[in-house]
Structure 1
Amino acid sequence: MASAIKDHTAVEKPKDLPPLLSKKFNITDVKQDALKWNKEWEAAIASSTAADVLKEISHFLDDSFFTPKDIELFHEDLRSVQDRVAEILRSLFNEGHFDTIWLLLNVAEKRRHILEGLKGASEAPTLWGQDCRALCPEVTVSNLLSQGGKGFIDFLTRVLEISESSIKPAFLPNSWWEQASNLPNPWNKFIDECFPLIEHHASHFVLSSALSIVGDITNRSEGMKGVLHIMENTEGYVARSLAQAKSTFRDKPLIRCENCTKTPEDIGQGVRFMVCSVCKTKLNFEVHYCSQSCQKQDWSLHKKACVKKPVSKGLRGTKGDSLWAFGDSDPAVELIRNLGKKEGRGLTSLRDIGVNPCKGKRSPAAERQAEMLEANRNVDYFLFTASGETVRFVIDDPGARMIFRINRGVIMTQTGDTGLDAMGEYMVKLMSGYPGLSRDIILKQLCEEHGADTTKQIVRLERKSRECGKSTFIEGWLKDSSNVFGDWAWLGSL
C-alpha cells in the first residue's frame, strides 16, 4: 500500500497547443494562488458547454493540424498511461484499504490531495496542459468531494474499470460531451481529437493524486496520523463502519426554503434564494425562501417570530436542525430523529432513546428491565444487588451514552445480535466495585435477561479489548472516533 509510485508516462508530443481557454477565462497562475486558480477553473467549467469549448478550439485548429500520425501517437501514449493507472489503482484497492483510509480523512486533507492531483495533471507533459481541465467537467474538487469523498472513490473505480477494458485506448463515458456528438460541422470534427486529451488529463490526475496520498501514508504526515491510528488499532469492521458513517456527514448545513422545504439543488441551476431581510438585519438570522410566492405563503407562520426571536422550522439538514451534519440515510440518526414523535415533539434527546416494543419474546427478566427503563428514561440500565436492591446505572459521557443506548435498543428489541457484549463489558468495568455489586452478580443478571451464553460473549470481547490495549470497546470506539469526528460533547445538547 505504502510503496512508492513513479510516473513513467512522459509523452512524446508532435506539437504543443497554445493556452487558449485559460487565457480566455483569465485563470490565475497556479503557482501564484492554487486555491484561486481552482476556484476560477471550476467557475469557468460550470459556465461553459461542450459547444462553447469546441467553438474556441475551432478558432485555432484546422483539418491539417493533427495528422494521422499525430493521432496514432496520442493513442499509443494514452494506452501506456492507462496501463500504468490500472496497475496503481489495482494496488490501492486490493492491498491497502484505500477507500477506507480516504473516507476517514478530514475534508481539508481530501481537498488538498485532489488539488494536488489537478495541479499535477495541469503541469503534466500533455499537449494542452491546464486547458484540458475545460474538457473534463467531472474532474472538479466539488464533484470529487461529494458524499463525504465517495465521489472520488466512485471516479477512481470508473477509471479502473475503463483502464482494464480490452479496448485500448479506452474512454470514460462523459455526458457533458454527448451533446457535442450532435453538433453541426465544423465543430464535431474535433471531437475525436479531444477525447485523447480528456483521457490524458484524467489519467494524470489519478497518478498525481495517488502520489500525494501514498506519500502522506508512507511518511505518516500530520494529516494522516489520526486515520492510520484507527487503521492500525481497531478491528477492520470498526474502521470501515467509521468510514461509512463519515461519508454520510455534511460539511455545512443545507439551505432549504422555509415554505416548500426544497434546496437549491432540488430546484436547479439559476435559482437565488432570498432571506427575510428584517431578521437578517435586526437579528443576524437567516430564514430562506426560494421565491416571493413561498415567502408570502409562509408569512402567517413566520410573522409570529419575525424580528422578535431567531426561530425557524429547523428543517432537516439546515442550521436549525441539531443533527444537520448527519446524512438522511443514517439508521442511528433516524432512530434519534423519530424519538418522541408520538408525543408530538419534533426535537429529540439522548434520554429518549428507549427500548421500544420487542420484535420477538423477551425473557421475564428482560421484560422487567424494559418496563423499568421505559418508566425512567434518565437511567441507562438497572442493576440489582444480591439482596435485590435496585442500582441505577447512569452514563455521564454523552458519546458513551449514545453508543450504549443504541446497542441497548438493538438488543432489547431483538433486531440484531451484536452489542450485548459491549454493553456488558462496559457495565462490568464501571460497576463491579459498586457496593452490593460484583462482576459475578452483574454477569449472572445479564445471563438471566439475555441468555446463558452472555458471559462467554463478554469475556471474548474483554480479551479482544486487552489485546488491542483498550479499556472497553465503547471507550476505545469513542477515543478512535474522536480522531475523525472530533469531541462528542455536542451530543450533550440533545
Structure 2
Amino acid sequence: MASESTTEDHSAVKKPNGFPPLLSKKFGITDIKQDAVKWNKEWEAAIASLTAADVLKEISQKLDDSFFTPQHMELFHKSLRSLQTNVAEILSNLLNNGHFDTIWLLLNAAEQRKHILEGLKRASEDPSTIWGPDCRALCPEVTVSNFLSQSGKGFIDFLTRVAEIFGSPITPAFLPNSWWEQASNLPNPWWGQASDVSPQRQISQSTKLVFEVATITRNQFIGEWQFVLSSAFSIVSDITNRGEGMKEVLHFMENTKGHVARCLAEVKTTFRDKPIIRCENCTKTPDDIGQNVRFMVCSVCKTKLKFEVHYCSQSCQKEHWSVHKKACGKKKVTRGLSGTKGDFLWAFSDSDPVANLMRNLPKKEGRLTLRDIGVNPCNGKRSPAAERQAKMLEADKDVDYFLFTASGEPVRFVIDDLGAKMIFRINRGMIMTQPTDTTGVNAIGEYMLKLMSNYPGLSRDIIIKQLCEEYGEDIAEKIVELEQMAYSSDLLTVRCSVA
C-alpha cells in the first residue's frame, strides 16, 4: 500500500495533441518521403529566412499560455530531463569508448549526408512531438551544411556539445542558441491579428509558457530517440553490418590501425571545401584585399581554354603579362599558388606542415607520385643508423622502410595499401628531414610493429632497438605510450558502447 501511495500518476495530465505542420505548409516543404534531399534544401532555405519571432508567431496562432497547466510543465520538464540523461550517457560512451569519430571523419561526404538525413527523417516523422516536422524550424543549428563542415567535424563537435550540456547537473539543461533565445520575452500581440482566433482564446498577453514548451520540444527534437541518436544509430548500424558505403573505411581502419588512421581523419578536418582564388601576380586572396573587390579573369584563357587565371586588378594583370603571354590562350598554365586549383594540394591549409613538405618535393612533368616522396636533404644531423637508412631508401625508392634482423640482414618493408603508404611516407619524410622532431617515429614504429613483429628474423624487441639506434633511446617509451593511448579496444567497440 505504501508503495502505491508514493507512485506518481501522470494519467490525469494529458499530453497536448499534435498540431498540423503550419510552417511546412506555409513554405511548401516537400514531403521527406518523396525526396529527402529536396526536403532538406527547402528547410534550410526556410530556416535561413526566418527569425525566432516568426516561428513563435506561427506557433501562437494555435495556442497561448493558458493552454498549459502547471502539471503539464512539470511533466514536460521531468520527461526532458530523463531523456537528456539517457542521451548524454549514450553519446559519451559512443565518443569515448570506440572509433566512432574516426570512422565518421573518414567517410565521404555523400555517406555522411545520408546518415544525417536519416536522423532528420526519423526525428521529423516521430509522432510524439507536438509540432511534428515543424520542430525543424526550432533548430537553426541542425542543418546538413553545418554538420558536413570541416569534413564532418561539425557533426562530431555538435554531438560532443550535446553530450556535455545534456549531462550537466543543471535542470533543465537547454542547448543554448542566441537565434532562438531572442524570442524568449516576446509579448503576444498576434491574437487580434489572426482571423481564425475566437474571442475566448484572446486571454494571454504573453508567450512565456509557449516559448518554454517550444524550447523543451526543440531539445527533444535534437536529442531523445530522434535526431542525435537516430543519426548515430544509423552510422553504428552501417558499421556493424558493414554497409556498402562503410566497407572502404572499415577496410582502411582494419589495415591501418592506430595513429595512422586517426592522423588521416584529423587531417581531413582541415581540408578546404573548394579551391580559393588568388591573384596570379600579387598572390592575394579576396579576403586579403576585402570582400567587395571583384577579381578579374583572363578572357582569352577563359574563352579558348575554359581556364581561369585570376587577377585582383588591371595593374596586376599588366604587371604579370610578360610572364602570362607565353601561355595565354595556348596552355593551361598558372603558378599553382597555394590553395588554388593549380595546387594539387589545394584542399590543405596553407599552414599544414605536411602539405608544405609535399609542395616542395621535386615533381616529374609537374606531377607528384608516391615514389617521389623520398627522404630529401636533412635539416640537421642524423644519427649514423638513420643516415644508413636514408641512403638505402634513396637507392631503392620502391621500399617504404628497411628493417634489420639480429644478424644485420636487411628486410624490405613495402606497403601495398596506397592510403597507408602515403601517410607512412609523409611521416617518414618528416622525421628523416627534421631529426629533432621525432613525432612521426611513433606512428611509423607502431605501424611496423603490428605488421612485422612476427616476420622471420624480426621481433618486437629487434624493431624497437633499431628505431632507438636511429632516433634516440626515448622512442621505445613513446611508441608504447601511443599503443596504449590509440586503440586498446577492438575496432567495433562502438557496437557494445550503445547497447
Q: TM-score range by the shorter chain?
A: 0.5 to 0.7
Higher mean C-alpha deviation, range 212-221 or range 130-139:
212-221
1:149 maps onto 2:170 in alignment: no
CA distance in 2, matches of 1:216, 1:402: 26
CA distance in 2, matches of 1:452, 1:34: 54
CA distance in 2, matches of 1:402, 1:12: 59
CA distance in 2, matches of 1:88, 1:22: 31
CA distance in 2, matches of 1:297, 1:97: 53
Give how far 1:453 is off. 9.4
CA distance in 2, matches of 1:25, 1:352: 54
Give how far 1:359 is off. 4.1
How many residues are treated as equivalent by the alignment?
Answer: 420
Cα distance 1:184–1:421, how it changes in 2: closer, same or farther (>3 A)?
Answer: closer
- Per the alignment, in what secondary structure is the counterpart of residue 32 of structure 1? coil
Task: Determine the structure 1 residue equivalent to 2:434.
Answer: 413
1:256 maps onto 2:297 in alignment: no
- Which amino acid in structure 1 is aligned with residue 235 of structure 2? I
Residues 40-75 of structure 1, C-alpha deviation per residue, up to 9 Å, x if partnerless?
111222233334333444444434344444333332
Residues 425-468 of structure 1, C-alpha deviation per residue, up to 9 Å, x if partnerless?
999xxxx9xxxxx99xxx9xx979955999x99xx99xx9xxxx
1:336–1:353: 8 Å Cα contact kept in structure 2?
A: no
Give the TM-score, by structure 1 length: 0.68
Cα distance 1:176–1:287, how it changes in 2: closer, same or farther (>3 A)?
Answer: farther
Give how far 1:176 is off. 2.2
- Per the alignment, in what secondary structure is the counterpart of residue 222 of structure 1? coil
Task: Determine the structure 1 residue equivalent to 2:247.
Answer: 225
1:258–1:313: 8 Å Cα contact kept in structure 2?
A: no
Which residues in structure 2 correspond to 1:9-24 (within 5 Å)? Answer: 13-24=15-26
CA distance in 2, matches of 1:321, 1:127: 51
Cα distance 1:69–1:448, how it changes in 2: closer, same or farther (>3 A)?
Answer: closer
CA distance in 2, matches of 1:382, 1:29: 56
Task: Determine the structure 2 residue equivalent to 1:207.
Answer: 229
Higher mean C-alpha deviation, range 58-67 or range 15-24:
58-67
- Which amino acid in structure 2 is aligned with residue 147 of structure 1? Q
Task: Determine the structure 2 residue equivalent to 1:198.
Answer: 218
CA distance in 2, matches of 1:57, 1:408: 60
CA distance in 1, matches of 2:422, 2:234: 39
Task: Determine the structure 2 residue equivalent to 1:73.
Answer: 75
- Which amino acid in structure 1 is aligned with residue 52 of structure 2? A
Q: Where do 5+ consecutive residues of structure 2 fail to align? A: 1-12, 190-205, 403-409, 484-499
Give how far 1:196 is off. 1.1
CA distance in 2, matches of 1:81, 1:325: 40
1:354–1:377: 8 Å Cα contact kept in structure 2?
A: no
Higher mean C-alpha deviation, range 324-333 or range 176-185:
176-185
- Per the alignment, in what secondary structure is the counterpart of residue 346 of structure 2? coil
CA distance in 2, matches of 1:177, 1:314: 44
- Which amino acid in structure 2 is aligned with residue 208 of structure 1? S
1:373–1:381: 8 Å Cα contact kept in structure 2?
A: yes
Give how far 1:166 is off. 1.4
* Partner of residue 239 from structure 1, selected from 249, 258, 261: 261
* Partner of residue 49 from structure 2, selected from 41, 47, 50: 47
Task: Determine the structure 2 residue equivalent to 1:475.
Answer: none
Which residues in structure 2 correspond to 1:431-450 (within 5 Å)? Answer: 450=469
Which residues in structure 2 correspond to 1:120-159 (within 5 Å)? Answer: 120-124=122-126, 125-159=128-162
- Which amino acid in structure 2 is aligned with residue 34 of structure 1? A
Which residues in structure 2 correspond to 1:227-306 (within 5 Å)? Answer: 227-250=249-272, 252-258=273-279, 261-262=284-285, 279-287=301-309, 294-300=312-318, 301=320, 304=325
Give how far 1:371 is off. 8.6
1:248–1:327: 8 Å Cα contact kept in structure 2?
A: yes
* Partner of residue 105 from structure 2, selected from 91, 103, 109: 103
Q: Where do 5+ consecutive residues of structure 1 fail to align? A: 1-10, 341-345, 384-390, 433-437, 465-494
CA distance in 1, matches of 2:293, 2:222: 31
2:338–2:346: 8 Å Cα contact kept in structure 1?
A: yes
Cα distance 1:283–1:166, how it changes in 2: closer, same or farther (>3 A)?
Answer: same
CA distance in 1, matches of 2:93, 2:446: 36
Give how far 1:284 is off. 2.0
Which residues in structure 2 correspond to 1:296-335 (within 5 Å)? Answer: 296-300=314-318, 301=320, 304=325, 307-328=329-350, 330-335=352-357
1:395–1:401: 8 Å Cα contact kept in structure 2?
A: no
Give how far 1:147 is off. 1.3
* Partner of residue 383 from structure 2, selected from 355, 362, 366: 362
CA distance in 1, matches of 2:415, 2:67: 73
Which residues in structure 2 correspond to 1:170-185 (within 5 Å)? Answer: 170-181=173-184
Higher mean C-alpha deviation, range 114-123 or range 397-406:
397-406
Give how far 1:198 is off. 1.4
Give how far 1:126 is off. 0.4
Q: Larger % of helix: which? A: 1
- Which amino acid in structure 2 is aligned with residue 114 of structure 1? I
CA distance in 1, matches of 2:68, 2:286: 46
2:150–2:270: 8 Å Cα contact kept in structure 1?
A: yes
Which residues in structure 2 correspond to 1:342-361 (within 5 Å)? Answer: 351=372, 354-360=375-381
CA distance in 1, matches of 2:129, 2:467: 71
RMSD over aligned CA atoms reads 4.9
Residues 268-315 of structure 1, C-alpha deviation per residue, up to 9 Å, x if partnerless?
7x99987666544432224567xxxx3445432377465444344434
Residues 370-424 of structure 1, C-alpha deviation per residue, up to 9 Å, x if partnerless?
69999x99898999xxxxxxx9x99999874774464154045322144479799
Which residues in structure 2 correspond to 1:27-46 (within 5 Å)? Answer: 27-46=29-48
**Identical positions, percent:** 57
